[in-house]
Structure 1
């Protein structure tokens, strides 16, 4: 049986679950994620869309897409960021911070060429994305 984890926005008006295991976890260093998260790096968990279920407040979710690659979602009440749909990848990025009981374990840094915070943790650092997600798959030095 698959494990289900509860998540929510900052105020709790939007609640959701993620079930099973994510397709990947890591840190994104791109300018878009840094700006959206208001931080130097964004911790992500990538899920198949069917693994993510809104359980409360679906009508309270706002959406913004700067590009066709990312549909960013947030709570209209508190402004808390919840997840980003990536239609081209067929995945949904649920921000690690909004699923507090999930056992987050990063496996990779993506878009590391854009980093503003160098992290020496021994994890692979990719110039952009893995090849299977449309990137070059090129690794760069820590």
Structure 2
């Protein structure tokens, strides 16, 4: 029996990846760092154990930026798509921008992280837990 996976890529397709299930979590993040890195009011992330995340193509196009001490963000150097996040705060995890997956995941978002940092101009009217800090 093969392990179920989900595939995805950056906007231009230069960087392609897959992640094996189960995912650890899927969450909407409202922190200022994520908002600024993606130019969006929130970013939905899927967390995977690092050993379950695989680059299928484009390692040479994946560029890492140290966004804060102990944290880095990966993006495509060709099209600029923000893609990945790793931090010493969550060792052994690869966080992947949910919108980049072309395949369904094994779970839907189950919370709003850093909700206290949210932008005031977006109403969030779902029933998911709204946690003040990042998990």
- After TM superposition, the score normalised by the length of structure 1 is 0.86
Mapping 1:38-49, distance limit 5 Å: 38-49=39-50
Q: For 1:1-23, what per-residue CA distance to the aligned partner results, in whole angstroms no more than 9, with x for missing partners?
A: 42111111110011111011211
Distance 2:68 2:94 in 1: 15
Q: Which residue of 2 aligns with 1:106?
A: 109
CA distance in 2, matches of 1:87, 1:59: 24
Equivalent residues of 1:86, 1:93 under 8 A apart: no
Aligned to 1:124: 129
Residues 10, 80 of structure 1: 8 Å contact kept: yes
What residue in structure 2 maps to residue 31 of structure 1?
A: 32
Aligned residues: 130
Q: Tell me how large the CA RMSD over aligned residues is.
A: 1.3
Q: 1:3 and 2:8 equivalent?
A: no
Corresponding residue of 2:89: 88
Q: In the alignment, is the contact (CA less than 8 A) between 1:45 and 1:94 conserved in 2?
A: yes
Quick one: higher RCO (CA 8 Å, sep 6+), 1 or 2?
2
Q: Could you give the per-residue CA deviations for residues 28-69 of structure 1, whole angstroms, max 9, x where no partner exists? A: 000000011111010110111111100101011111012134
Unmatched tracts of structure 2, length 5 or more: none
Instruction: Please state how far the C-alpha of 1:129 moved relative to its aligned partner.
Output: 2.7
Write the distance in 1 (CA, Å) between the matches of 2:110 and 2:9: 24
SS at match of 1:94: strand
Bigger drift between 101-110 and 91-100 goes to: 101-110
3-state SS of 1:6 partner: strand
